[in-house]
Structure formats: structure tokens, C-alpha cells
Amino acid sequence: MGVLRNVIVPAVFLAVLSLQVTCEPRSYDGYKVIRIKVNSEDDVRFLRTLQTSNGQLDFWDFPSDLMVPTDQADTIESQLVSQGLKFDVWIHDVQKLIDGQFTKSPKDGFNAAGARIQSTDPHYFDYEIYHRWAEIDQWVKNTAAKYPTLAEEFIIGRSYEKRAMRALKVGVDTGNEKWGAWYNGGIHAREWVSPATVMWMTNQFLEDYKNNVTEVVTLLETFDLYVLPVMNPDGYEYTWTDERLWRKTRSINLGSNCMGTDPNRNFAYEWGGIGASADPCSIVFRGPYPHSEIEIKDVTDFIRERGKTQKFKLYIDFHSYSQLWLSSWGYTYDLPDDYETMYDQMTVGCEAIKSVHNKTYVYGAGSSVLYATAGSSKDWGYGVMGVPYSYTVELRDTGEYGFVLPEDQILPTCQEMYAGLKAALQFNIDNPYP
Ligand code: 0X9
Ligand code: ZN
């Protein structure tokens, strides 16, 4: 028996281990996204309660777009009907969308387990496809190496799972004092078009400068751009390996089986208020305390430190989806003191976006245009750092594909947003106050 146990136990152990290693990503087979017609404050309150009572409920866009798991469809839909809420099925099968997202990736770009094959050529980067975190990290290094006089790489810190938070400083050394502008992508893991857009735009600034595009020469002589493509690297990588629709960080929550914090509820400005949850299982979990997430702590420490010697004029946190350009406040329905100027800048930005592919981006204060969110990045930027123009931008689309935007929409998304970003920076030059 002893001999047998010596054989069986390791064999079982190895079998379990190999099961874990070859584990398939979560399937969203038959999952729907429904669009709810919300008519009153009462409806919103009802949906908020529904969300709080079922921590796992995944509102892709609160309160209208809700992902409904196959086995919960009957329960959820009857709850909505009993409140008198009407809804349409917007996406019929989320898994089908996921299977169809790689419209531009080479067909042979995946190994037998379905994982992406890493590109090994340091000089080549395909901006029109989605990339694994390691490829993006390599892109930061390669870009700094390719433009040594314009771009510098640096590490802001390490994520919870110890991935490097590698960023770029892009600008021309004029010998004069320069303004700072920060933009990042990928704070929410599943919003893949956001890191893609951040990389494309940054490369375009560098190329346009090299080609002497006057507008960009002025911008890079006035601003130092600080660029972090993926603010939540652990979550981002997890969306490739395990759950395509993961949103939060990957930190362990003491006393709970649910992992992760919503990094965009974890900032230390009005932390924990409206639109944030105290339930670790919720997708909008605020975290155990402000800046509990190492990624948020390190980035805010960096900006605060750099802000002592350089005035930051612009801060943009790129998300998807909904095509929105949102200013503070998020935590209250009151408008900030600088709202009029912010509004003018958002107008200029959204007009520039529209001029490229005729896409409409709606703009205004986050709490009224979208929903209230306490502890979000832009409120920290404006409220704590005093960056006069601090925004959340939600990239494409308006819900047809939602977070699972096909690769053939990466390029147009980047092109229009680049026009918007340049216009916003130029606005700062034209309106130096505050
Ligand atoms: O909820 C968020 O953090 C952002 N939306 S997302 O779908 N990308 O998760 C929006 C934050 C915008 N701010 C306000 N609504 N105030
Ligand atoms: Zn987001």
C-alpha cells in the first residue's frame, strides 16, 4: 500500500497540476449583454440595489448595459420585468464576439493552446493588433531605443505580481521650463483598445516630430509627455490567459474569495463615496483603503513627485467604451470651479475627433454624462494634484462590441483620438490660464 501511495499520490498531484497549467480561459458561451431602458431616478436606484445585492453582476455600462450569464438569465430578467424595466438583447453571445476579435492578427499567430506567439523582432511592431503585456513592455524599451533624443524609458514601480510599470517620457529638451502632460491606458484590464491607442498615439508624436510636422514640433517643445500604456498590468495579462472580461487588479482581498480592486475607485480623493462598493466581490470594489493598490500608489507618488518641479497641465486616463470625454467631478453632481474652461477644451477635443472619422464623442462632467464615481483618477488629478485639465476618455465603440472591439477598429480609434489629444494640448498653449 505504501508503495502504491508513493506512485498514486504524485501521479494525482501531477495530473491536477497539469490541469491547472493547461487551463482554458473562462468561456462566455451564451452570455448576453442587454441594454436596459432606464426612465427614472427610481429605476437607477433599483439597478444600484440590484448591483449591490449581487456583487458579481457585471454592468458593462451602468445603468444601461448589463452582461447576463447564461445560468442567471431567467432570474435577472424576471427581476427587471418585476420593476417594469424594458430591455433589448444587445449582444447575443459574448463568446462569439471574443472569438471574432482578432480580425487583423495573423491566423498563425497563436500556439496550440491558443496563446499569442510573442513577436521577437525588436524593430517591428504591429499597431493594428492587440498585444500581450510582455510585448507592450518590450515596445516601451524599443521606442526609447529608437528615439534616444526624444524618448526616455523609466520604471514607475512594480505591480502586485511584480510586473514592471515601464513608462516613457517624450519631449524635446529645449533648455526651458516645460509643462507636463500625463496619459495612461489599461487601468481597466479588459479595455484593450486603450493601451493600443496610447501606444499608437505616442509613436505618432515621435514620427510626426521626426517629419517636422509643425504642430507636433510645438507640442513636444512645450510639453513633456509622460506615457504609461498599461496601468493595471496584472489584470491586463489575466484577460489574455484566464478571463477576457476581467476589470480589476489581481490583489488578494483578506477574508474574501474574490480578488482584485477597481483601480478607478481606489484613488485618494473622496474615496469610498457614491458609485464605489465596499464588497470585494463587486466589480467596482474601492479597495480596503485609498491607494491600497500598489499600481495606484506608485503612479500617484510619481506624478506628485514630478509635479514638484514641473507643472502638469493635462492628465488623461484612457478607457473604453462609450465614446465620452469626461471631466471632474466624478464624486458629486456639483461642477468644478474650472468647468467652463474644461468644457471649452472638451469641445475642441471632441470636434477634432469628429473631423477624422465622423464619430461623435459626448462630453461633460463625468457624474452627469455617465454616472457618479468616487475615488476615480480624474478627480485625484484635479482635486489633489491640481492639474487644471484632468479627464477620463472612453474610446470606441458605443456598445456594438463594447469591450471586445475587433482589431479592425484599432486604427481608426487611434487616428481620431490622436487628433483629439493634439487639440487638447494645443488648447493649453492657447489658453495658458490656469
Ligand atoms: O466606471 C469607470 O471607472 C469608467 N467607466 S468604464 O466603463 N471604463 O469602467 C468611467 C469613469 C468616469 N467617471 C465618471 N463617471 N465620473
Ligand atoms: Zn474603464
Q: Which three cell numbers stand for residue 269?
A: 480623493
Q: Which three cell numbers stand for residue 86?
A: 424594458
Known catalytic membership, residue 394: yes
Domains of the chain and CATH, by start: 28-99 (3.30.70.340), 124-239+286-430 (3.40.630.10)
pLDDT at 398: 98
pLDDT at 223: 98
Sequential pLDDT tens for the chain (434 residues): 444 455 444 444 444 444 445 578 999 999 999 999 999 999 999 998 888 888 789 999 999 999 999 999 999 999 999 999 999 999 999 999 999 999 887 766 666 656 666 666 777 899 999 999 999 999 999 999 999 999 999 999 999 999 999 999 999 999 999 999 999 999 999 999 999 999 999 999 999 999 999 999 999 999 999 999 999 999 999 999 999 999 999 999 999 999 999 999 999 999 999 999 999 999 999 999 999 999 999 999 999 999 999 999 999 999 999 999 999 999 999 999 999 999 999 999 999 999 999 999 999 999 999 889 999 999 999 999 999 999 999 999 999 999 999 999 999 999 999 999 999 999 999 998 76
Around ion ligand 2, residues with a beta carbon closer than 5 Å are 188, 319
Nearest to residue 118, comparing CAs of 101, 133, 128? 133
Of 191, 293, 319, 403, best ligand 1 pocket probe by most atoms within 8 Å of the beta carbon:
319
pLDDT at 124: 83
Closest residue (by CA) to atom 10 of ligand 1? 392
Q: What DSSP assignment string belongs to 307-338?
A: TTTS-EEEEEEEEESS-EEEES-SS-SSPPTT
pLDDT at 113: 59
pTM across the whole model: 0.93
- The sign one gets for the Cα dihedral 277, 92, 27, 198 is negative
Edge-to-edge, what's the strand order for the sheet holding 32-37? 58-61, 65-68, 32-37, 86-91
Q: Choosing from 270, 394, 407, 416, which is the catalytic residue?
A: 394
Q: What is the rounded CA–CA span in Å between residue 171 and residue 425? A: 13
Of 44, 394, 398, 405, best ligand 1 pocket probe by most atoms within 8 Å of the beta carbon:
394
pLDDT at 56: 81
pLDDT at 109: 65
pLDDT at 119: 65
* Strand pairing category for 164-170 and 151-158: antiparallel
pLDDT at 108: 65
349 CA to middle of ligand 1, Å?
Answer: 19
Q: What is the rounded CA–CA span in Å between residue 153 and residue 129? A: 23
